[in-house]
Amino acid sequence: MTTAQPLIQARGLVKRFDGFTAVDAIDVAVRAGEAFGFLGPNGAGKSSTMRMIGCVSPPSGGELRILGMDPVRDGPAIRARLGVCPQLDTLDPELTVRENLITYARYFGIPRRVARLRAAELLDFVQLSERADSKVEPLSGGMKRRLTIARALVNEPEIVLLDEPTTGLDPQARHLVWERLFQLKQQGVTLVLTTHYMDEAEQLCDRLVVMDGGRIVAEGSPRVLIEQHSTREVVELRFAGESQEPFASKLDQLGERVEVLPDRVLLYVPDGDAAVAEVTALGLHPINVLVRRSGLEDVFLHLTGRTLID
Amino acid sequence: MTQLAAKRARPGPTRAPALAVLQYHLVGYRRTWRGGVLSSFLLPTLTVLGFGVGVGAFIDQGVDGVSYLEWIVGGLLASTALQVAIAESTWPVYSSLQWTKIYFAQYAAPLRVTDIMAGQLAFVLFRVLTSAAAFLLVTGVLGALRSPWAVLALPVAALLGLAVAAPTFAYAATASSDSWLALLFRFAVIPMTLFAGVFFPVESLPVGLRWLAYLTPLWHAVDLSRAATLGAAPIWSVTGHLLYLAAWAAGGWLLAHRALRRRLVV
């Protein structure tokens, strides 16, 4: 946690594909030891950004420095110090769990003897020791993900890049991955992750940027973002009937903001229970009422007018 | 993982990155080689028996003054090398980009495009050389080799392997669907095997087709390989053959590098 130069520094970073701008002049600085998140819906430009940081995709414009080096010129030297967990697993299904780790360690010039020890330790860390000698193919999605994370750690990286680390996993598998990532963070490893799960971002990230359409629309810690862009509480109201719209228009006077979704109305208020009482006083009788705290989902909805997962 | 930090081996770009890639392919091969070994001994035995002894029985006068079996064995060796080289640089390459995406994983490590390609082609050469060696061993035991110069057929097989594997790598890396790979066998491998001088002298083809045969890399390797197993001079100059094959290898290498780069660096 030094105030020294950021490990990753992007200024006006752009990525274009055949006239389509995936990343549109973003500024990002990731400091040593923090867990930094890119939050946004599919197509927001998160993965393109990650691939540029991973030095496998040359920027189309702007400036990018990773560990003080130029990703285009010093690609292999930077990649030697990164760990990458891609969105889709790229394991060899024909090799065993252990062989996947050892062969990968060799790409980093790690001697076979050391690679073997490290593989054993990493398998222990991701709770796959018992499957060390089974092939990768029959493993569950969660196990493959954990193996991919173990593989990303084989070179003891200074920065670990995780592109949607828990997408497609069941809740139990997700929690195990989160636990391990949290442990890594405790050990001082810098984590950079993309996600379209709010709870993931809130759980793991010290700081994050919200991306939409290739741009950064907000930046800060989850708590600060919620304070800045949302109210303390949210009342979710569901009314009987085809459309929520007529009910919503009667709620305009309540709270700071009203969002209408196809199946419910969100009422942004400082005090949820008081607001519910006011709704009832207006003579409205929703079939379902839920009072909850504001989250990043609400921040995103406020900033972009859209929900994260359609 | 505090224990890990103690043993820190200072990871960095490897000194021999392509070798690490070759090692990876060998680890995979260790699981499947048994099935392959049987066929690499059985196949030459059957071909020698079938074509050499079976077909040869109908060819009383032999070819160029030697028995048909002795004449055909050098060409069969070269065509075996061709088939192994192409088989090992089609589906494995396609799959590493499209299915398992292993190349993407390798490129995320401190490897360069060249290292990934060189490691894969080194493995192809390993497969070509071991298959050719098995072929030589079997045909030697069966008494089909006329000269100790036959060992020179091994480097010829390796050069042919590279000459066809490198452009095939480029083709497989560019293919948009795996049905393109099967087309390569139908329209390149099979016609080459049939008409590039393996089973009968190219000179018996009509002049136009003869030149097509001369253009194939296979014919050049067949001529060299046959010269080695017969202990006779080749039809063309040795240098000419070697340069022609080297040109295919070099051109293929450049194409493959460009094709792989386009897939990995986007």
* CA–CA min distance B236, chain A (Å): 43
Does residue B72 belong to any structural domain of this protein?
A: yes
pLDDT band per the 50, 70, 90 thresholds, residue B154: very high
Question: ipTM greater than 0.85, yes or no?
Answer: yes
pLDDT band per the 50, 70, 90 thresholds, residue B80: very high
Nearest CA in chain A to B25: A103
Class of the CATH-defined domain A8-220: alpha beta
Q: Over 50: is that where the pLDDT of B5 sits? A: no
N-to-C CA span, chain B? 35
A90–B264 CB contact, under 8 Å: no
Nearest CA in chain B to A106: B20
When CB atoms are compared, the residue of A51, A80, A118 closest to B110 is A80
* CA–CA min distance A36, chain B (Å): 20
Average pLDDT score over residue span A112-120:
96
Nearest CA in chain A to B119: A107
What CA–CA distance (Å, rounded) separates A248 from A234?
A: 14
Residue A50 pLDDT: 97
Does residue B126 belong to any structural domain of this protein?
A: yes
Q: Is A188 on the interface with B (CB under 8 A)?
A: no
Domain residue extents for chain A: 8-220, 231-293
C-beta of residue A128 within 8 angstroms of C-beta of residue A150: yes
pLDDT band per the 50, 70, 90 thresholds, residue B201: very high
Spell out which chain B residues touch chain A, with contact meaning CB-CB distance below 8 angstroms. 1-5, 7-9, 11-15, 17, 20-21, 23-24, 27-28, 31, 100-102, 104-112, 264-266
Which of B10, B23, B24, B116 is the best residue to mutate to test the A interface, defined by the most A CB atoms within 10 Å of its own CB? Answer: B24
Residue ranges making up the domain that contains B80 = 19-26+33-53+63-264
* CA–CA min distance B113, chain A (Å): 10
pLDDT band per the 50, 70, 90 thresholds, residue A3: low
Q: Over 60: is that where the pLDDT of B6 sits? A: no
A258-299 residue pLDDT tens: 988 888 999 999 999 999 999 998 888 899 999 999 988 889
What CA–CA distance (Å, rounded) separates A106 from A206?
A: 33
* CA–CA min distance B111, chain A (Å): 6
B215-264 residue pLDDT tens: 999 999 999 999 999 999 999 999 999 999 999 999 999 999 999 999 99
pTM for this prediction: 0.91
Residue A2 pLDDT: 47
* CA–CA min distance A35, chain B (Å): 19
A98-107 residue pLDDT tens: 999 999 999 9
Residue A1 pLDDT: 46
Q: Over 80: is that where the pLDDT of A306 sits? A: no
Does residue B179 belong to any structural domain of this protein?
A: yes
Residue A309 pLDDT: 57
A56–B112 CB contact, under 8 Å: no
CATH (one of 3.10.20.30, 3.30.70.980, 3.60.21.10, 3.30.70.260) for A231-293: 3.30.70.980
B9–A57 CB contact, under 8 Å: no
Give the residue from B258, B251, B241 showing the smallest Cα distance to B167.
B251
DSSP chain B: -HHHHHT-----S-SSHHHHHHHHHHHHHHHHHHHHHHHHHHHHHHHIIIIIIIGGGG-TT-BTTB-HHHHHHHHHHHHHHHHHHHHHHHHHHHHHHHTS-HHHHHHHTT--HHHHHHHHHHHHHHHHHHHHHHHHHHHHHTT----GGGGGHHHHHHHHHHHHHHHHHHHHHH-SSTHHHHHHIIIIIHHHHHHSSSSS-GGGS-HHHHHHHHHSHHHHHHHHHHHHHHTS--SS-HHHHHHHHHHHHHHHHHHHHHHHHHHH--
Nearest CA in chain B to A18: B266
What token pair was written down for B129? Answer: 């050389």
As for how many domains chain B has, the answer is 1
Q: Is A74 on the interface with B (CB under 8 A)?
A: no
Phi and psi, residue A251, nearest 5°: -100, 0
Identify the bridge partners of residue A268 per DSSP, sorted by sequence position: A234, A257
Residue B103 pLDDT: 98
